[in-house]
Structure 1
Amino acid sequence: MSTTTASPPFEPLDPAGIDDLLSADEKAVRDSVRQLCNERIDPHVAEWFEQGAIEDVRGLAKELGALGVFGMHLDGYGCAGMSATEYGLACLELEATDSGVRSLVSVQGSLAMFAIWRWGSEQQKQEWLPRMAAGEAIGCFGLTEPDIGSDPGSMRTRARRDGNDWILDGRKMWITNSSVADVAVVWAQTDQGVRGFVVPTDTPGFSAPEIKHKLSLRASVTGEIVLDGVRLPHSAALPEVRGLKGPLSCLNEARYGIVWGAMGAARSSLAAALSYANERTQFGKPISGYQLTQQKLVDMNLEYTKGVLLALHLGRYKDAGKLRPEQVSLGKLNNVREALEICRTARTILGANGISLEYPVIRHMNNLESVLTYEGTVEMHTLVVGQAMTGHSAFH
C-alpha cells in the first residue's frame, strides 16, 4: 500500500534527482572539493587560461594534497583510501572548474601514483607516494611520443642495460606536469619488452621543455620529456610488470576519472546557459521563454543526466570490482562526446558572449577538444567497444 508524500522540489540541474542515489559520505566528498574549487580556483581560472599558466601550481598542489584528492582511491602510503565513486565525484567537481585542474589531479593520482602503487617496489612506494599524496612532490607520466600516440607498442624510447644500471634515451610528447614534476614514470622498450621506470627529474640528461601556444588546456602544464643518456640504478625499474599491461592499466584508471570529469564541464556550461537565458531579454521577454531555447536547454540536460547516471553506474561497478576496460571505453566515448556537444550548444545560447572568458563555456569547449583525444581517441574507444561487441578486432 502506497502513501502520499510531498514531492521534493524540482532541481533544474538535477532533474532526475540523482543526488538521492549518493550516500552522505559521497556528498561530503563532493561538497568539500566543490568548496575548494569555488574559493581557491574559480576566481582565478579564467585568468590562468588566458595567461596559459597556473599562477602557483606548487601551492595549488599542496592545497589539493591537503584535501586528500591525490591518489584518493588508493590505499596506504598517505592516500585517502576512498571509493571509486567518491573519486569520480571529485573529478566531476574539479572539471566543472577546469579540465586542466582535473588533469593535474588525474595525472598525479591515476597515472604516476597508480603506476608506482600498483607496479612499484616497496622502496619506490615509500619514497614517492606519501609526498605525492600530500602534494609535496608532483609526478608526470611519459608514454606518448611525438610520432607515437594510439600505438604505444611502437614507442621508440629505449632503455638498455649498462652493468647494473639502465640507460634511457628517447623523447615523450604532450606530457601533463612534465616541466614542474619531481618524478616521471617513463615507459621504454627494453630487451625484456616494455618496462616502466621511476625517474627523478633532476637526473642528468633529463629535461622537460614546456609546450607553448596551446589553445586548449591552457590552465595546465604541458611539456615534453627528453631523455639523453639518462642513467638510472637497477632499482629504478618498476619490478612488477612487463609489457603494455603496465601503462594500459594506468590509462584505464585515468579514463575512468574522465568519464566523470567531462560531466563537470557539461554541468558548468549548462548552468551558465540556463542562467544567461533567464537574464537575457529579447523581443520583450527572457530568451528562456522561447521554445527553441527551451529545447536546447532540455536536450542538454537530458544528455548531462544520462552521462552522470552512466558515470555513477560505472563507479558502482568499479567499487564492486566488476568494471571492465571496455565499459570504461564506453563511458569515455559517450560522456566526452556529449559534454562537448553540450558546451557547443551552450555557446549558441550565449551568442557572442559565449566566446568571452567572462563565461566558462568557451574555455570548457576548448578544453574538451583535448579531452576528446587524450587517454584514447574517439576512434580507439569505438574500436574497443566494437571488438567487445563483435568479437572481431578492427585495429589493423
Structure 2
Amino acid sequence: MEARRVVITGLGAVSPVGNDVSSMWDNIVSGNSGIDTVTRVNKDDFPATVAAELKDFDPTLYMEKKDARKMDRFTQYAVAAAKMAVEDARLDINDSNADRVGVWIGSGIGGMDTYEEQHNKFLERGYKRVSPFFVPMLIPDMAAGQVSIQLGAKGINSCSVTACASGASSIGDSFKVIQRGDADYIITGGAEAPITNMAFAGFSSAKALSTNPDPKTASRPFDEHRDGFVMGEGSGILVLESLESALERGAHIYAEIVGYGSTGDAHHITAPAPGGEGAARAMQQAINDAGIEPSEVDYINAHGTSTELNDKFETMAIKQVLGDHANKVAISSTKSMTGHLLGAAGGIESVISVKSITDGVVPPTTNYETPDEDCDLDYVPNEARKQDVNVVLSNSLGFGGHNVALLFKKY
C-alpha cells in the first residue's frame, strides 16, 4: 500500500506574542517580542530575571471553569490551542469519525506548577491535603488525554516526551500514523508551562538561562553576545489530515507535511554532539523522507536557542547537510521573540513554518547586532523578508540528545 499524503488543515496557538494564530503571526512578522520581566517567580531569587509569559490568557474561554480547575496550565494551553485548530479545520468530530481522530501532544516537563503547589501542601499539612487530581494534573500525557476528552477524539492518543523536541516529535510521529493509514486526522503539537520556581532554579543552576536583565535583547540567537535562552510558555497545535479526507470534505489546506527525521546524539545529557552531527542526520533524514533535494529548502526555522553551543553547532549542521546552498537559504530563530517554549517549541514553530509558506514571508531573527564568526549564514536579521517559500525545514533539539527535523511543503 502506497504511503498516504498528509496535509495541515487547522492551526491553533497560545503564545507569549498572541493568544491566537493571527495575532501571534502578525507580531512575529513585525518583530515584536513577548519577553518581559518575569512575574511568575520572584526575580530577586534568580540570576535570570526575564521570561516570555502568556498575557491575558483566560482558560474559561475554552472550557468549563470546573474542568479548568482540574488541569495544570500546560494542559489548559493545549486544550485552548487544540479547540482553535479543530475549529479552524472545520472538523466535526462525531460518532462516524471519532475513532479515526487521534490526539498526539508532547510536553517536555508537564505539570511543574501543580507539582510544586501540591508538594508545598504536603509539607505544610500532610498527605490528606494533596489533591486527588495531583497525578492526573502532573503527568505530561494529560494534555493529549484532556484534549481527547474535551473534543471526543477516540483514535490513537499519545504524547512524545523528548525534552525540547517533544512538540516536533509528536507532529512527526502523527504524520507517520496518518501516512500508514492508522488514523485520518490527528490533533498534534506541544504544550508547556515551565515558568515555575523549580524549573527556573534548575535551568539557572545549569547556567542555561540568559542573565541579561534587558527583556528586549535577552534572547539573541546567532549573535556573538548571546548568553543563554529565555524561558517561554504556551502551546502550538496543528490538525494533520490525510489528503484524501481533506479533499473529500473540501477542507482548506494550508500546506503538506512531507518529511520527518529523528536521531539521537549518544553523546551527553545536555550538550549537543560536536559539530551538530546528530542534528545534521535528522535534517538529512527529513530531506530523504520527503524525496527532495537539499537545494529545494527555502527557509529553515532553526532551533536557535541563543545558547553558545546550540547556535554554533546548528549552523555547522546546516552547512553539512545543505552544502553550498547553506549560504543561500534563509534561516531564522523565532525564539528571539517567543523565548524558548521547551516541549511546545516544535508546535509553535511548526505553525510559524506553515504560515511562512502560506503568506510568503520569512520571519526575522531579532536582536541580531553583532555577527559571530562561528555563525556566518543568513539569519534574516531584524526584519521579516517577503519571498516565495515552498519548502521549510523546522529543527527541534532536546536534552538527552534528541534531534528532530520536520519538512513542510507548499500544497
Both structures adopt the same fold (TM-score exceeding 0.5):
no
TM-score normalised over the length of structure 2: 0.23
Higher relative CO (Cα under 8 Å, sequence separation at least 6) belongs to 2
TM-score normalised over the length of structure 1: 0.24
The structure where helix makes up a greater share of residues is 1
Larger Rg: 1
